[in-house]
Amino acid sequence: MLDALAASSVLDDLAGLGPAPYLALVVVLAASAQTIAWRLGVPSILLLLVVGFGLGQVVGPESVLGRDVLFDGVTIAVGIILFEGSLSLHWRDLRDLGRPVLRLCTVTVAIAWTLTTLAAIAVGVAWQLALLVGAILVVTGPTVIAPILRMLRPTRRVSSLLRWEGIVVDPIGAVLAVLVFQGVIAGGREGTAGDLAAALGITVALAVALALAVGYALELLIVRHVIPDHLQGVACLSAAIGALTVSNAVQAESGLLTVTLLGIYLGNRERLHLHHVQEFTEHLQVLLVGVLFVVLAGRVTPEQLGAVWWQALVFVVLLVIVVRPVSIVLGLWGTRVTSAEKRLLAGMAPRGIVAAAVASIFALEFAHVAHEAEENRAPRADELTRLATEAEALVPIVFVVIVCTVAFYGLGVGRLAERLGLATTSPQGVLFVGGKEWVVQAAQRLEELDVPCVVVDRVYADLGRARQAGLRTVVANILSDYAVRDLDLAGMGRLIATTSEDEVNATAAREFAQVLGRAHVFQVRRGDAPVGDAPASRRQVAASHLTARTPFDPPLTHDDLEARLAANWRVTRTKITTEFDLGRFRAEHGEDAVLLFAVRDGELEVVTEKSSLPDTGFVAVALVPPRQHGEESQ
């Protein structure tokens, strides 16, 4: 009894939260849900929606923030998310994908809208609202695509197609929804088609003009150093928010298109170096995505879900089985997209925050228009009131679509991608920077264990041994734009920088840590690293945050490794079993043997001084003295 009273008291306290405590709680819950989801290996959006739905049953976002603040805040947050995503869209990604991307953003959208509308009508949605929900659900979105791509790391072509579609189609869907809404409100009034065409023309012209004007002004201010480096992120973000607000004030819902075009413009200016801006906005985007899903999920009640659950589930089945595959096949017909790529694209259409936000906004807009029509006793007041009531059901339907599509695509696309040979859910491959002989030998041993390897070197001749060994090679400076932005990392999970230049190794590791994670990037021991227990000099030793992890046990410098190779040491692989355990391996090879990698159950570990290897049950890849070469057959 006391526990029930205590729980009731806590719920009452939560229900009475003010704006500041509520927002603080939402931020904490969003960050916690995203962290837990990452640890569990599940799409974070699923956990965010569950958390938001639960919180919403105790305290509703509208009761704390008010409708105007809530939806204006949602609009700005979605604009920031699209701006961040569009900064990463580069024209060079389209050198062999221009036509497919254009078709994805036009023909495929039109087909998906038509089929989604028909699917909505089939489950009992009024045709006017079916047109609206069809427009809303043509979007996929960077908030759900980006985490899945980060987990899968598919081929460059597939990644580019999905990112361009996800980011560019979002504002197109929002603009399309506005036009449908205006058409539904206008009814059969004469001249409606002309008004809608004019609205579309104004939206596009305004978005292009504002994006170019604001983008060019920002570019001039940045390249002339009027804006210092530490304020460029804030300046770009504030400019995007300002452009979004002005655009929406002139033409309803045109702001999302404006900020998307602004991001594409800035991201493709060669004289701008906006990596620090992208890093700033990316962190903000992660926070905003979590907050938005928690807040918007809190607007859905169990009663709303119970009233539409059967419609929503049938609708989801039609979207997954019919709408997406047909729209991809027809939309990309005649393009140079392979059948495997089409199949993966057909199996990848999760809906995200833009769908949730736009559905919520238009449900509110319908209610507002219906209320005004009743007050003014307009001829279509009864019809608009009915549509407003039915529009409320769109929010839980879209909520179910988001949950089900994220679960289906997020949890199932990995297996499909692996089967098609376009990605892997657990990339084990190693990207070696530098093509020395010991690297070639190590890569050969790993390839024999089904661990894919890529060797990158800026000197063509230095890759001769790797090519003769049948390894995949890339001639490039690891610090070039090509390597940093365009190098195909499909299947790669780790980077080991092995060049003779410590600073090149460190810079490469820091750059690729943004993709692979700091835990998975390494550089061979620096020449200025302290030896043994010698004290480290703060003036001579590189700062820890400017270097990567040191691989191998014992860790060796580039020169140390080359010296061992000159002494005829070789890289071998040895099964560590109960008959030949780790202790015997060390005894026979000597304490100087260098453990490089450990492979067990298909999982690769880069051995370091701090590794805790088991005594048995793995394959050791090691650099050993010449007298023990014969052991590799064990």
DSSP string, 459-486: -GGGGHHHHHTT-EEEES-TTSHIIIII
Are residue 395 and residue 444 in the same domain, yes or no?
no
- CA-nearest of 22, 24, 29 to 63 is 22
Are residue 8 and residue 56 in the same domain, yes or no?
yes
Mean pLDDT of the 314-341 span: 91
Q: What span, in angstroms and rounded, lies between the C-alpha atoms of 454 and 491?
A: 10
Are residue 407 and residue 482 in the same domain, yes or no?
no
Is pLDDT above 50 for 281? yes
Residue 7, pLDDT score: 46
Which of 374, 398, 420 is the last residue before a domain boundary? 420
Ranges 80-89, 193-202, 243-252, 420-429: which has the least confidence? 420-429
Q: Domain of 460: which CATH number?
A: 3.40.50.720
- CA-nearest of 551, 434, 577, 418 to 490 is 418
Task: Give 554's Cβ-side CA count (13 Å radius).
Answer: 12
CA dihedral 17, 21, 23, 26 (to 10 degrees): -90
- Residue 349 belongs to a domain: yes
Is pLDDT above 80 for 33? yes
Q: What span, in angstroms and rounded, lies between the C-alpha atoms of 435 and 323?
A: 48
What are the helix and strand counts (H, E) for the chain?
A: 26, 9
Mean pLDDT of the 257-282 span: 84
Are residue 113 and residue 53 in the same domain, yes or no?
yes
**What's the mean pLDDT when you consider all of the chain?**
84
- Residue 294 belongs to a domain: yes
Mean pLDDT of the 56-82 span: 84
Q: What span, in angstroms and rounded, lies between the C-alpha atoms of 255 and 246?
A: 8
Tokens (6 digits) for 132: 């609206």
Ranges 80-89, 441-450, 580-589: which has the least confidence? 80-89
Mean pLDDT of the 249-261 span: 86
- Residue 540 belongs to a domain: no
Is pLDDT above 90 for 618? yes
CB-neighbour burial class of residue 605 (10 A; exposed 0-12, middle 13-18, buried 19+)? middle
The structure tokens 């410590």 sit at: 502
The secondary element (H helix, E strand) that includes residue 599 is strand 594-600
- Residue 490 belongs to a domain: yes
Are residue 109 and residue 246 in the same domain, yes or no?
yes
Are residue 356 and residue 461 in the same domain, yes or no?
no
Residue 174, pLDDT score: 79
The secondary element (H helix, E strand) that includes residue 492 is strand 492-497
Contact residues for 622 (Cβ-Cβ < 8 A; gap 6+): 571, 572, 573, 574, 585, 589, 593, 594, 595, 596
Classify 185 as helix, strand or coil: helix
Is pLDDT above 50 for 634? no
- Residue 11 belongs to a domain: yes
Which of 401, 420, 439 is the last residue before a domain boundary? 420
Tokens (6 digits) for 362: 């238009």
Residue 439, pLDDT score: 95
**Whether residue 554 has a cis bond before it, omega within 30° of 0:** yes
Domain boundaries, position 347 = 2-420
Tell me the CA distances in angstroms from 616 to 321, 575, 587, 611, 619, one per residue in order: 47, 8, 15, 14, 9
Full 3-state SS string of 273-300: CCHHHHHHHHHHHHHHHHHHHHHHHCCC
The secondary element (H helix, E strand) that includes residue 618 is strand 618-624
The structure tokens 């799409």 sit at: 43
The secondary element (H helix, E strand) that includes residue 603 is strand 603-606
The count of residues in the chain is 634
The answer to whether 133 and 394 have CB atoms below 8 angstroms apart is yes
The structure tokens 């170096």 sit at: 273
DSSP 59: S
Q: What span, in angstroms and rounded, lies between the C-alpha atoms of 245 and 79?
A: 10
Task: Give 187's Cβ-side CA count (13 Å radius).
Answer: 10
Q: Express as a percent the part of the chain with pLDDT over 90.
A: 29
Are residue 397 and residue 517 in the same domain, yes or no?
no
Q: What span, in angstroms and rounded, lies between the C-alpha atoms of 398 and 265?
A: 32
Which of 360, 393, 420 is the last residue before a domain boundary? 420
Sign of CA dihedral 549, 554, 559, 564: negative
The secondary element (H helix, E strand) that includes residue 596 is strand 594-600
Residue 533, pLDDT score: 52
- Residue 536 belongs to a domain: no
What is the arrangement of strands in the sheet containing 453-457, beginning at the earlier edge strand? 472-475, 453-457, 429-433, 492-497, 521-523
User: Regarding predicted confidence, which is higher, 537 or 119?
Assistant: 119
**What is the tens place of the pLDDT at every residue in 170-202?**
888 878 887 887 787 776 566 667 777 888 888
User: Regarding predicted confidence, which is higher, 211 or 589?
Assistant: 211
The answer to whether 212 and 247 have CB atoms below 8 angstroms apart is no
The secondary element (H helix, E strand) that includes residue 573 is strand 570-576
Q: What span, in angstroms and rounded, lies between the C-alpha atoms of 490 and 429?
A: 9
Q: Domain of 322: which CATH number?
A: 1.20.1530.20
Most confident stretch, 265-269, 324-328, 392-396, 512-516? 324-328
Is pLDDT above 70 for 458? yes
User: Regarding predicted confidence, which is higher, 248 or 146?
Assistant: 248
Is pLDDT above 70 for 145? yes
Q: Express as a percent the part of the chain with pLDDT over 70.
A: 91
Query: Which pLDDT band holds residue 576 (cuts at 50, 70, 90)?
Result: very high
Phi-psi map region of 455: left, alpha, beta (phi>0 left; psi -120 to 50 alpha): beta
- Residue 162 belongs to a domain: yes
Q: What span, in angstroms and rounded, lies between the C-alpha atoms of 262 and 215?
A: 6
Residue 631, pLDDT score: 46
Ranges 162-176, 315-329, 538-552: which has the least confidence? 538-552
Ranges 212-226, 329-343, 520-534, 581-595: which has the least confidence? 520-534
Mean pLDDT of the 332-360 span: 84
Are residue 197 and residue 294 in the same domain, yes or no?
yes
Contact residues for 379 (Cβ-Cβ < 8 A; gap 6+): none
Full 3-state SS string of 302-365: HHHHHHHHHHHHHHHHHHHHHHHHHHHHHHCCCCCCCHHHHHHHHCCCCCCHHHHHHHHHHHHH
Contact residues for 102 (Cβ-Cβ < 8 A; gap 6+): none
The structure tokens 């960077």 sit at: 142
Mean pLDDT of the 65-80 span: 84
- Residue 405 belongs to a domain: yes
- Rounded to 5°, the CA angle 502-505-508 comes to 150
User: Regarding predicted confidence, which is higher, 585 or 304?
Assistant: 585
Contact residues for 17 (Cβ-Cβ < 8 A; gap 6+): 25, 59, 64
Are residue 44 and residue 184 in the same domain, yes or no?
yes
Tokens (6 digits) for 246: 């002005």
Q: What span, in angstroms and rounded, lies between the C-alpha atoms of 360 and 394?
A: 8
Residue 632, pLDDT score: 47
Q: What span, in angstroms and rounded, lies between the C-alpha atoms of 627 and 629?
A: 6
- Rounded to 5°, the CA angle 410-108-168 comes to 70
Tally of structural domains, the chain = 2
Residue 630, pLDDT score: 46
Are residue 89 and residue 128 in the same domain, yes or no?
yes
Mean pLDDT of the 284-291 span: 86
Are residue 410 and residue 518 in the same domain, yes or no?
no
**What is the tens place of the pLDDT at every residue in 467-505?**
999 999 999 999 887 777 778 787 888 999 999 998 999
Residue 13, pLDDT score: 53
Q: From the CA atom positions of the chain, what is the Rg in Å?
A: 28
The answer to whether 397 and 363 have CB atoms below 8 angstroms apart is no
- CA-nearest of 165, 14, 156, 9 to 102 is 165
CB-neighbour burial class of residue 545 (10 A; exposed 0-12, middle 13-18, buried 19+)? exposed
The answer to whether 112 and 324 have CB atoms below 8 angstroms apart is yes
Are residue 217 and residue 356 in the same domain, yes or no?
yes
